[in-house]
A and B are shown apart, each in its own frame.
Chain A
C-alpha cells in the first residue's frame, strides 16, 4: 500500500490575519510549481485551512518528499490515507489496516489523537481515542499505549472524509516565496552567497541575482558554475533571473586610476551601484550579499561601511554573524557546497593586492573614486546595457 495523499502543515503563515489567504495561495502555487518537476500527476488543493496534495497517478514517494522539503512555508509533510466516511465500524477497520500496513514491526508505543472537524459526527473525539486505542491494543498485542511520549502519534481527523496519518516529516519552515517581495542577490560563485540567497528566500523573498563576469580573467566555466549555483538555489527559491554583468572594463579602469590596495573596496562599491540599478529595473527592493564580518579584508566593519555607503538600498547580509564552518554547514545541507568549491577564479580575487586596505575611510575611498570621473559613468552604462539575463 502506498500513501496517495499528503497533508501539508504550515506554521507562521497561519497567523497572518486577513492576509492569510494570500500566503496560502502563494504556498499552493509554489507546491504546484515544484511538483511539475516530479513524475506523476498531482492535485494540490486548499480546504478549510488545510493544504492537501493528492497523487492521481503512480509516483515516487521519495521524490515527492524531496520536492516538498524544499518549499518554504511548509512546516511539516504528513503522508496520509484519506477514506470515505462509511460509518464508525468502517473507520475502525480502516485504522486497523493502516497500522497493520505501515508498521511492520508492531513493537511500539502509541497514542491516538482524534479530531472531529465534522461536529455532526456521532462519536466525539474522546470516545474515538478510547475506542481506537483499545482496538489497536487488542489487534496488535505487542503495542503499548503511552500518552506522554508515544513512538507513534496516530492522527485521525474526521472531516467530510477521514484522514489517517502518523508520519510527520519536517519541512524547511519559513514563508512561501513571493509573499515578501523581491531582492537582488550578489552571487559570486563562492560558498557564502548561495547560502545568503537561500536564507533570504526562506523568508518568502523572491530572488533575482547578479554575477560579475570578467573575461578573460574569469572563465566561461566560472560563469557556468554561477549559473549552476543559481539553479541549485532555485530549487528552494523558485526560478531566479540571473543578470550577468561584464565587469572587465570597469575593473581595469579602476586598476588604472586608483591605488591598488583600494581596488577591492572600490570594485565592490561599483558592484553595489550596478546591482542597485538592475534592481530598479527588476523590482527588487533590497540587495543580498554573503558577507560575514572579518572574513576577508573587504569584510571588516570599515570595509562593510564603505561598501554600504555606495547604495541607498537596504543590504541584507544574512550570514553576517556566521563562522565559516556554520556557512559551510548550511551550504552542505542545501546542496551548494560541492559546486561552490570548484576551483574557478571569481572576479574579486583576480587583481587582489598583496596588502589590501582593511580600514578604509569613506572619505579616502571617495577621493580615489573622483579619479574615475572621466569615464566611469559611461562604462557603468555600457555594463548595464549589455547585461545578459539567464533564467536559472
Chain B
C-alpha cells in the first residue's frame, strides 16, 4: 500500500521541458501571413511609446489627451491618403470582423425601408457570412453568387441577381484561401448602372496594402480593413464609409469618432496601423513586384513536384501574397504538422475556419476535385519572406511527400 503523505513528497518539479536535439540545419519559414503577420519594427516602437509615454485618453481635455488625439488624427490622415478619401470617412474598429459586421448589419438596418435584398458570393470569409446569416434571420434575403474555376464571380450573373429591392452588395476584394482577385471596378459599374443607390461593400482585408485601392474611382462605398494582415498590430482595423452612405453605429457609448464607433480609441493600435499602412504604401510597386516574383517562384517550384496542383494564378492574375496548393494523397493537416516540425508555418484552407474541420467553401466553389479538398495548403507571404525560405520549403516538401504518401488511411 502506498504510504499516506506520498502525495506531498511526490509533488512535481516546476518544469520538465524536453530539450530537443536538432542536428540538421533548418531555418524558420513563416508562410502564414494571411493569418497574421509579424509587426514591422517602427510599428512596435510607436505602440510601445504610446503605451508607456503618450498614454492619455484622446477625449481628455488636458495636454496628454490632445497628444493622444493627434496620433489618431495623423493615422486617419495617413490611411485616408492611401485611399485618396477624406479622413472623416475612416472609422477605426477592433479589426476586420468588426468592420465587416458594421458594414453589413448597420447599412442593412439603416436602409431596410429601401429594400431587403442583399447580394454576396459563395467564397466570403466567415465574418461576412455570419452577419449575413444574422440578417437572413432578421428577414433579409441574400443571394450568394457562385464563382468560376479561377474564383471570380460572373458579371452577367451579378447583373441578373440585382432586383428592385436590392440595397447592398458585398464582395471580397481578394479571396483569403486562393488569392483570387474580384473585378471590383467592373462589379461596381454593373451595380451602379442598374441602381446607383445600391451600396457596395468590399471586404479588403487581404487586399489592403497589396493593391492600390481608390474607393472613389472604383465605386466602393464601404471598405473593411484589418491592421494585423499588413504588419500592424492585432485588435485594430478600420471601415471606410463614403460620406453619403446611410449607416448606423454598431457600438453605442460615449460618442467617440463622431458617434460612429464609441469606446476609447485604441490609440497605440491605431497609430501602429497608420505606420504599417504608410510603410506598405511606400515604394509600393517595388514591394509588390518582389512579392509577385516570390509567388511565381514558389508556383514554379511547386510544379516541379509530382502530385501537386497549384490553385492560385501566377503574376498579377491573383493576389501577390497567396499560393494555394493541393497535395494528392496527403491530408493537409498531416502535412501542415510535418512542415511545422521543420519550422515551416502554413495553414490548411484558411486559418480562421480551420478550427472547424468543415471543408472550404472556396475550394469547393472553384471546383477543386473532392479528393483534394482536404489536401490543400495555403502559403502566404509577407514582406519578410525570402527566396531562400521558398527553396528550403520545397526541399522539405520533396523529402516529406513520398514518406507521407506511403501511409494513408483505409
**A→B interface (CB under 8 Å):** 22-23, 25-26, 29-30, 33, 176-182, 206, 215-220, 238-239, 241, 252, 255-256, 260, 343, 345, 350-354, 388-391
The residue from A177, A178, A219, A256 contacting B333, defined by CB atoms under 8 A apart: A219
Q: List 15 A-B contacts (CB under 8 A).
A: A23-B4, A26-B4, A29-B7, A30-B7, A177-B7, A180-B1, A206-B2, A206-B7, A215-B341, A216-B337, A216-B341, A239-B11, A255-B407, A351-B409, A389-B16
CB contacts (< 8 Å) of B11 on chain A: these are: 239
Contacts of B357 in A (CB 8 A): 343
Contact A182 B334 (CB under 8 A): no
Q: Please, which residues of chain A bring their CB within 8 A of the CB of B190?
A: none
- Contact residues in B for A352 (Cβ distance below 8 Å): 409-410
The proximity string for B residues 366-410 relative to A, scoring 1 for CB distances below 8 Å and 0 otherwise, is 000000000000000000000000000000000000001011111
Residues of B within 8 A of A178 (CB): 2, 4-7
Contact A215 B2 (CB under 8 A): no
Contact across chains for A391 and B16 when beta carbons are under 8 A apart: yes
Q: In the complex, how many angstroms separate the beta carbon of A279 from the nearest chain B beta carbon?
A: 14
Contact of B407 among A25, A26, A215, A351 (CB under 8 A): A351
Is B18 engaged at the interface, CB distance under 8 Å to the other chain? yes
User: Considering only CB atoms, which chain A residue lies closest to B339 in the complex?
Assistant: A216
Chain B interface, DSSP helix/strand/loop, else mixed: loop
In the bound complex, residues from chain B placing their C-beta under 8 Å from that of A354 are 410
Q: Which residues from 1 to 40 on chain B have a C-beta closer than 8 Å to any C-beta of chain A? A: 1-8, 10-13, 16, 18
**A-facing residues in B233-267 (Cβ within 8 Å):** none
Chain A residues with Cβ under 8 A from B336's Cβ? 216
CA distance A216 to B348 in the complex (A): 14
A23, A216, A391: the one within 8 Å of B334 (CB): A216
- Counting CB contacts under 8 A, is B155 at the interface? no
User: Which B residue sits closest to A24, measured CB to CB?
Assistant: B4
A179-B2, A216-B341, A351-B409 known; A33-B334 Cβ under 8 A: no
Q: Given A26-B5, A206-B2, A216-B335, do A239 and B407 touch, yes or no (CB 8 Å)?
A: no
Q: Verify if B338 is at the interface (C-beta below 8 Å from A).
A: yes
A30 to B357, CA, bound (A): 41
**The 9 nearest A-B residue pairs measured at CB:** A391-B12, A216-B337, A26-B4, A216-B338, A25-B4, A388-B18, A354-B410, A178-B7, A219-B337
List of B residues within 8 angstroms of A252 by Cβ: 407
Q: Would you call B340 an interface residue if the criterion is a C-beta within 8 Å of the partner chain's C-beta atoms? A: yes
Name B318-369 residues within 8 Å CB distance of A: 333-341, 355-357
What is the CB-to-nearest-CB distance from B400 to chain A, in angstroms, rounded to a whole number?
A: 9
Q: Are B7 and A33 in contact (CB under 8 A)?
A: yes
Flag if B12 contacts A179 (CB, 8 Å).
no
| B222 → chain A closest CB, angstroms | 35
Chain A residue with the shortest CB-CB distance to B18: A388
| Structural contact, A206 and B6, CB atoms closer than 8 A | yes
C-alpha spacing A351/B410, complex, angstroms: 6
**Chain B residues within an 8 Å CB radius of A241:** 12
User: Which residues of B are found within 8 Å of A33, using beta-carbon distances?
Assistant: 7-8
Cα distance A26–B4 in the bound complex, in angstroms: 5
A215 to B4, CA, bound (A): 39
Nearest-neighbour CB distance to chain B for A282, whole angstroms, equals 10
CA distance A30 to B4 in the complex (A): 9
Shortest B371–chain A CB gap in Å is: 15
Q: List, in ascending order, chain B residues with CB within 8 A of A256's CB.
A: 406
Name the CB-closest residue of B to A351. B409
Q: How far is the CA of A218 from the CA of B336 in the complex (A)?
A: 11
Which one of A22, A178, A345 has the greatest number of beta carbons of chain B within 10 Å? Answer: A178
In the complex the two chains form, is A29's CB within 8 Å of B16's CB?
no
Are B410 and A353 in contact (CB-based, < 8 A)?
yes
In the complex, chain A residues whose CB is within 8 Å of the CB of B355: 343
Q: Which residue of A lies closest to B13 (CB)?
A: A391
- Excluding A178-B6, A206-B6, 11 further A-B contacts by CB distance (< 8 Å) are A22-B4, A33-B7, A178-B5, A179-B1, A216-B337, A256-B406, A343-B355, A350-B409, A351-B407, A354-B410, A390-B16
CB proximity of B72 to chain A, nearest CB, Å:
38
Chain A residues whose C-beta falls within 8 Å of the C-beta of B2 in the assembled complex: 178-182, 206
Asked if B333 and A29 sit within 8 Å, CB to CB, the answer is no
Which of B7, B16, B336 has the most C-beta atoms of chain A within 10 angstroms of its own C-beta? B7
Task: With both chains docked as a complex, state the minimum distance between the C-beta of A169 and any C-beta of chain B, in angstroms.
Answer: 24
Interface residues of B in 139-165 (CB under 8 A from A): none
Complex contacts, A23 vs chain B, CB 8 Å: 4
Decide: A216 and B7 in contact? CB cutoff 8 A: no
Residues in B with CB closer than 8 Å to A345 are: 333
B4 x A239 contact (CB < 8 A): no
CA distance A71 to B73 in the complex (A): 58
Q: What is the minimal beta-carbon distance from B334 to any residue of chain A, in angstroms?
A: 5
Set A181, A218, A239: member contacting B10, Cβ < 8 A:
A239
Please measure, in the bound complex, the distance between the C-alpha atom of A343 and the C-alpha atom of B409, giving whole angstroms.
18
CB within 8 Å for A29 and B4 given contacts A216-B340, A239-B11, A252-B407: yes
Closest to B338 in A: A216
CA distance A206 to B409 in the complex (A): 37
* Given A182-B2, A388-B18, A390-B16, A29 and B8 contact (CB-CB distance below 8 Å): yes
CB-nearest residue of chain B to A218: B337
